[in-house]
Amino acid sequence: MGHSFLVLNGPNLNLLGTRQPEVYGSTTLADIEDTCTAKATQMNVAVSFLQSNHEGILIDAIHAARGVHDGIILNAGAYTHTSIAIMDAIKSVSLPVVELHLSNIHQREEFRHLSYISKVAIGQICGFGAAGYPLAMDALAGYLGTTET
């Protein structure tokens, strides 16, 4: 087995499928996790999932990923735009993080244009809906491949 990825989803993403489908699509979080699990098998990587509506739980998960996972795919939801604490947690564990959003946050309200996660992520994928998750897995694998010693 190769690398291990953590797919971490923040607030309100448990409601995917019914939450503003015109913005976020009709795919549920369970569907996304199934897609990522199937892709992980193809890629020969391990993947784990966590969703929380609580900032501190997301921070705890980032800390706990140290030494367990090789990288994180993070959709921090609205905490993207507010949480210096999540940004600091990412910086503290020095794991590569791919920032992910279903919607194109740059085309939306001004307050969504600022991302604290972008300041510490290796890159950002946004605007591709649920398809962004498997794209992020490829991005992380590519990054880890190029940084392997």
- Exposed (0-12), middle (13-18) or buried (19+): which is 65, by Cβ within 10 Å? buried
Task: Confirm whether 143 is a catalytic residue.
Answer: no
Q: Which of 12, 28, 37, 53 binds ligand DQA (CB under 6 A)?
A: 12
- Determine, following the binding rule CB under 6 A, whether residue 69 of this chain makes contact with ligand DQA: no
Strand ordering across the sheet containing 123-126? 46-51, 4-9, 71-75, 97-101, 123-126
Q: Which of 69, 101, 116, 133 is catalytic?
A: 101
- Determine, following the binding rule CB under 6 A, whether residue 82 of this chain makes contact with ligand DQA: no
Window of 37-45, 66-74, 96-104, 137-145 that interacts with ligand DQA by CB under 6 A? 96-104
Q: Where are the alpha helices (DSSP H) in the chain?
A: 21-24, 29-43, 55-64, 84-93, 132-147
- Determine, following the binding rule CB under 6 A, whether residue 101 of this chain makes contact with ligand DQA: yes
Q: Which of 24, 79, 116, 133 is catalytic?
A: 24
Closer CB to ligand DQA, residue 12 or residue 118? 12
DSSP class of residue 20 equals -
Structure-block tokens of residue 73? 């795919």
Q: Which of 48, 51, 52, 80 binds ligand DQA (CB under 6 A)?
A: 80
Task: Confirm whether 24 is a catalytic residue.
Answer: yes
Closer CB to ligand DQA, residue 68 or residue 114? 114
- Determine, following the binding rule CB under 6 A, whether residue 7 of this chain makes contact with ligand DQA: no
Nearest C-alpha neighbor of 121 from the set 148, 89, 82: 89
